[in-house]
Amino acid sequence: MRIDILTLFPEMFESILNTAIFKRADERDLVEVIVRNIRDYTHDKHRTVDDYPYGGGAGMVLKPEPIFEAVEAILNETDKRFHNTEEVQIILLTPQGRKFSQEIAAELSQRNHLILICGHYEGVDERVREYLVNDEISIGDYVLSGGETAAMVVADAIVRLIPDVLGSAESHVEESHNSGLLEYPQYTRPPDFRGWEVPEILLSGNHGEIAKWRREQAIFRTASRRPDLLKRAELTSEEKQQAEGLHKPSD
């Protein structure tokens, strides 16, 4: 997979690209991440990327030209036909986008090429939305000062789903959201920490009973913390009944 990130603050991505997952993905030739400065696609002396909004109002708006030129440069480099949705997903990070989820991360992890565009200031010229991007993603119902942190969240969630990026010890098969349930409680040594003991079942060595306990805990946790997730979780009819008993209407 190739991920191009368009931003006004490329230095913000240095630390995340140096973390184990991204480094490993790069070393194994599984993912290539290229961060580009939108300012490099301007042509005036001041390298202007924003301007006042037509119609007045507070703040500045990102101009369309440098963003279009940056995307077009990437598409030319990679020999992709402009706007071919099958081949490249051009994503604008914006609070107005579809809400990011594990499902969307899984969908995007199947793509060969993503372009993530980080918005800033008061917004991005509407023509970028209308005529350039083919997807818009929000990471939640709050406003960030820019799309950079959102792009990091999205890239991280996607890259770790690409086969062979995670080591076997970091498997995501059982982690929160993968089965539609939150993850069961985890413990490590010591077995007694300040008088708080690890549940005995986990020390029993009985793998069948441990798996059963973990499943129950995951259902209980989801029912008490995120009952909204239960509707779409993969549960047996017995588990469904069990969960309904746990999920009180006041939750």
Note the residues at the interface with ligand ADE (CB under 6 A).
Answer: 93-95, 119, 138-140, 142-144, 147, 150
Residue 105 or 139 with smaller CB distance to ligand ADE: 139
Q: Facing residues of 114 across strands?
A: 3, 89
Question: What are the residues whose beta carbons fall under 8 Å from the beta carbon of 149, sequence distance 6 or more?
Answer: 12
First to last CA, the chain: 41
For residues 124 and 131, the answer to whether their CB atoms sit within 8 Å is no
Query: Taking the complex as a whole, how short is the minimal distance between the CB of residue 118 and ligand ADE, in angstroms?
Result: 8
We find the least distance from the C-beta atom of residue 154 to ligand ADE, in angstroms, to be 8
In whole angstroms, the minimum distance from the beta carbon of 203 to ligand ADE comes to 43
User: Least distance (Å) from ligand ADE to the CB of residue 219?
Assistant: 30
Q: How far is the CB of 95 from ligand ADE (least distance, A)?
A: 4
DSSP letters for 145-189: SSSHHHHHHHHHHHHTTSTTSS-GGG--TTSTTTSSSPPPP---S
For residue 22, give both structure tokens: 């991204």
Distance CA(201)–CA(185), nearest Å, equals 12
Q: Which is nearer to ligand ADE, 140 or 199 (CB)?
A: 140
Q: How many CB atoms lie within 10 A of CB 15?
A: 10
How far is 45 from 30, CA to CA, in rounded Å? 39
For ligand ADE, the closer of residues 92 and 233 by Cβ is 92
In whole angstroms, how close is the CB of 120 to ligand ADE at the nearest point?
8
- Give the residue with the Cβ less far from ligand ADE, 109 or 138: 138
Residue 209 CA to residue 47 CA, distance in Å, equals 64
Nearer to ligand ADE, 142 or 196 (CB): 142
Angle at 160 between CA 156 and CA 161, to 5 degrees: 120
| Identity of the residue, 79 or 141, whose beta carbon is nearer to ligand ADE in the bound complex | 141
Closest CB to ligand ADE among residues 136, 174: 136
Q: How many residues does the chain have?
A: 251
User: Minimal CB distance to ligand ADE: which residue?
Assistant: 150
The CB-of-232 to ligand ADE minimum distance in angstroms stands at 22
